[in-house]
Structure 1
Amino acid sequence: MALTIYNKISILQLAFFFPSLVVAGTLTYRHGFRRSSGWIYLVILSLMRIIGASMELATISSPDNTSIAIGAQILQNIGLSPLILVLLGLISRSYLAMSENSRPSLPNTRVLRLLQLVIVVGLLLSIVGGVNTGNQVAKELGNGSPISYKVASESKAGTALMVLGYALLVLSAMALLFRIGNIPLGEKRLLIAVFVALPFVFVRLLYSILSIFDTSNTNFHQFGGSTDAGYYVLGMCTAMEIITVIIFEAVGLTLPYVPHNERGSLLNPNRAVNRFDVHGQPLSEYPKPQQGGQA
C-alpha cells in the first residue's frame, strides 16, 4: 500500500519532533517550568505533533476509524498557538531582563499577561471548533454521504484571536527593538530570534486563516481537500513549524544557565533586577560548601 502525502508528513514529524521533544525538555529544565519562559510550549507542540502523527499513521491499519483521523486533524490545526506562545515567552523574557526604568510603557507586564490570555482563549476555541467540525464530518461519513462541513464559529473566533495575538506580538517586539540597547547582551539574542521566526509563524498563521475563512479553496480544506491539499500542509504548516522550532531551540541552547534560586529575578516582574554582565552571565556568586565545616 502506497503512502499518502499525509503519511509521509507524519513520518517527517515523528523523525523531527522526537529529538525536538528531548531538546525542549532540556531547555524547560534548564530555564524553568514557568510558562513565562516559553520553553514549556515547545514541549507541548512536540507532544502534539508526535501524538497527532501517530494517530494519522494509525489510519493506515484502521482506515474506517474516523475518530482517529479527526483527532489527528484537530491536533494538526491547533499547532499554531504553541508557536505564538513561545514568541510571547521570548518577548516577555526580553522585557523583564531590562531594568525597570528602561522598559517601554507598552508593552508592560499587564499587557503581556492579557496577550497570553487572548492566545490561550483562542487555543481553547480552536479545539472546541475542531471537535464540532469533526463531529459534522463523522456524521456525514456515517451516513455514507460525501464529506461536507461548515466551519464552526468557534474555529473562526479562535483564529481571529490568533491573528490579534500575532499582530500585538509584532507591535510588542517592535517596541522592544527600539530599546534593544537596554537589554543585556546575552538576552538580546532572544529578541533577534523573535524577528527571525516571525515570518515563518506568519506563513503558518496564513494557512490557518485560509483554511478557516476561504472555504471555497479546496487546497485548504481541513477535511476532504484537493489532491494537492497535503502539499500545502507540508509547505505552509509542517516546514514552517520545523524551521521555527529549530530557531527557538538553537537560541535556547546558547542562553546562559540561570540557577533555580535566580530564576525569580529574571522571570518575576516584582523581583526583576539587572544582574548580568556584558556577556549575559549572572553576576551573582553562588557559594560552594566550604571544606572543613568552616562557616
Structure 2
Amino acid sequence: MTLTIYNKISILQLAFFAPSLVVAGTLSYRHGFRRSAGWIYLVILSLMRIIGASMELATISSPDNASLAIGAQTLQNIGLSPLILVLLGLVTRTYLAMSETSRPALPNARILRLLQLVVIIGLILSIVGGINMGNQVSDELVNGTPVSYTVATESKAGIALMIVGYVLLLLSAVALTSGLSAIPNGEKRLLLAVFVALPFVFVRLLYSILSAFDTSNPNFRQFGGSTNAGYYVLGMCTIMEIIAVIIFEAVGLTLPYVPHNERGSLLNPTRAVHNLDSNGQPLGQYPQSNGQYYPKLQQNESA
C-alpha cells in the first residue's frame, strides 16, 4: 500500500497533536479555560487536527466515502482561526497585566473582545462555506469524475474576516510595545511569543487566501489539485501550525501557576497593586528579586 502525501501529513499530525492536546489541556487547566485566556483554542486546534487526520487515514480503507474526505478537508481549512485566537489571548493577557495608567488608548478591552468576535464569526463562516463546497464535490468524488467547484461566498467572507483579525492583532501587539516597561517581567515573554509566532501564522493565512481567491492555481486547489498540492499543505499549513503551537505551548509552560481564586489579581492590575486576591482578600507573593509579581499558593491549596 502506497501512502499519499495527505496520508503522510495525517500521520505527522497525529504524532504531534496527540501529545500537544495533553499539553494544551494542562495549560488550560493551569491558566484558565476562559476564551480570553486563549489556551482553550490550543485544545480545539489539537482536536481538529486529530479528528481530521483520523478521517483522512480512514479514506485508505474507505476510498469511496466522500464524507470522510470532505470532513477532513473542512477541518483542515478552519485550522487558521484557533491560531489567531491563541495569539489574541496572549495579547489580551499582556494588556490586562499592564497597570491601567500605562495601557495605550488602543487597543482597549472592548476592542480586544470585538476582535475575538470577528475571528469567531470568520470561523463560523468558514465552516458553513466548507459544508457548501463539500456538497458541490461529493458526487464527483464518489463517481471518480474530475472535481470542479467554486469557493463558497461564506468561505471567502470568513477568510476576509481572518485577514482583518490578523492585521488588527498585529497592530494591537505593536501598540502594546509602547508600554513595554509597564508589563510585568513574567508577562513580557507572552508579547515576545506573539511576535515570534506571527510570521508563521501569516504563512498559514497566506495559504488560506490563495486557496480561497486563486482557485485557478492547481497548487492551492482543495480538491482535484496538482500532484504538488499536498506539499504546499505540508509546508504552508501543517509545518507552520506545528511551529506556532510549539511556541505557544513552550511559553505557556514557563508561566508560573496562579491559583484559581487568585487569577483575578493577575488579570486585574488594581487588585494586584493592592496585593488582593479575586475576592479582595490579602494574598502572599513570590519574592520580587526576579522582578516578577505573582501570587503564591495558600496553605490549603495545591497546584
Query: TM tier, shorter chain?
Result: over 0.9
Alignment of structure 1 residues 34-113 onto 2, 5 Å = 34-113=34-113
Checking the alignment, whether the CA contact within 8 Å between 2:64 and 2:141 is kept in structure 1 is no
* Residue of structure 1 equivalent to 2:292: 280
Deviation at residue 286 of structure 1 after TM alignment: 4.7
Deviation at residue 35 of structure 1 after TM alignment: 1.1
- What SS does the aligned partner of 2:20 have? helix
Write the distance in 2 (CA, Å) between the matches of 1:3 and 1:35.
38
Write the distance in 1 (CA, Å) between the matches of 2:83 and 2:296.
35
Write the distance in 2 (CA, Å) between the matches of 1:12 and 1:286.
39
1:266 partnered with 2:266: yes
Deviation at residue 179 of structure 1 after TM alignment: 1.1
Deviation at residue 287 of structure 1 after TM alignment: 4.1
Checking the alignment, whether the CA contact within 8 Å between 1:123 and 1:158 is kept in structure 2 is yes
Unaligned segments of structure 2, at least 5 residues: 276-284
Deviation at residue 91 of structure 1 after TM alignment: 0.1
Write the distance in 2 (CA, Å) between the matches of 1:61 and 1:263.
49
* Residue of structure 1 equivalent to 2:184: 184
Write the distance in 2 (CA, Å) between the matches of 1:241 and 1:27.
18
Identity %: 77
Alignment of structure 1 residues 1-295 onto 2, 5 Å = 1-142=1-142, 145-267=145-267, 273-274=272-273, 277=288, 278-282=290-294, 284=295, 286-288=297-299
Write the distance in 2 (CA, Å) between the matches of 1:260 and 1:159.
36
- What SS does the aligned partner of 2:101 have? helix
TM (norm. structure 1) is 0.94
- What SS does the aligned partner of 2:17 have? helix
Aligned-residue CA RMSD (Å): 1.5
Deviation at residue 131 of structure 1 after TM alignment: 0.4
Deviation at residue 224 of structure 1 after TM alignment: 1.0
Larger RCO (alpha carbons 8 Å, 6+ apart): 1
1:52-78 deviations in Å (ceiling 9; x for gaps): 000000000000000000000000000
1:160-195 deviations in Å (ceiling 9; x for gaps): 000000000000000001211110000000000000
Q: Provide the aligned length of Structure 1 versus Structure 2.
A: 287
Write the distance in 2 (CA, Å) between the matches of 1:35 and 1:272.
22
In structure 2, give the amino acid aligned to 1:280: Q
